Structure 1
Amino acid sequence: MTLQFPNRSRRFDEVRNAVRFIGHDGMFEVPFFVEAAALTLPGSMELSEADFLTAFDAARGSIHDVAREAYSYGRRTSYTLTEADFR
């Protein structure tokens, strides 16, 4: 099966300082995290949880593409996407 993202929900995880979202591979849920630094521009001022979620929503298509690529390299219990993954 191919990794899909039918559920548009996402939330900010303060402990990880990242936005969490879920992908689905058939009946399996695959958790992903996008580090906050990957959602900001260099030199940005301190952003709120709402700012990070808005940035995630604006880049959702490319985030899903990067998540699919990371998932294609092998199965793990979760995936953390960093700034380097988006270059």
Structure 2
Amino acid sequence: MESKSAKINQKRGVRRSVSVADLSVREWLRPVEAMRLFGLGQSKFWVYANDGGFPTYRPGSDGKSRTVLVRRSEVEAFLASGKSVN
């Protein structure tokens, strides 16, 4: 039986929380999910992304989507390389 709050959240379209185990098998992640999975703070994540550590993607044919995604494998490879960004 669903709780009352679960029913309200479902009506509102609230996303269920995603576990780190779930995130570790997904290839495409939202920035907040990547930060959680790799233990990065918001500032450090965006410094790495903006300075060429790993690319960010905006889905859609025009590239103007507000949604930003990163590939888990690209973030992993950058962090494993130990490279710094300028």
- Establish whether TM, by shorter chain, passes 0.5: no
> Structure 2 length normalisation: TM-score?
0.32
Looking at secondary structure, tell me which structure has more strand per residue. Answer: 1
> Structure 1 length normalisation: TM-score?
0.32
